[in-house]
Amino acid sequence: MEDARSSRCRRRRRRRRGEEEEKLILQIPAVDQGVSPASSENRGECVVQEQGDQSTGQCRIIWLIDRLTNCHFC
């Protein structure tokens, strides 16, 4: 199932590039762990970073707020 979600994400990620995307990226709040979406190679894609609670085994997903790329997967 993760593969299906991942491929769905990838299919939609490259629609509109340019000023609109830049504005969306700049509006993303700073992340504690120092991820910088503006300089990331993964612009317009989901950025998944392993930073879960080791006790619960849950991971936190960081995703770029791009209306064409609403990705939620771990």
4-54 pLDDT per residue, tens: 555 555 554 455 555 555 555 555 554 444 444 444 444 444 444 444 444
Q: For the whole model, what pTM was predicted?
A: 0.13
Q: Give every CB contact of residue 70 below 8 A, 6+ residues apart in sequence.
A: 63
How many whole angstroms separate alpha carbon 37 and alpha carbon 26?
A: 8
Q: Where along the chain do its domains lie?
A: 2-63
Tally Cβ neighbours within 10 Å of residue 69.
Answer: 22
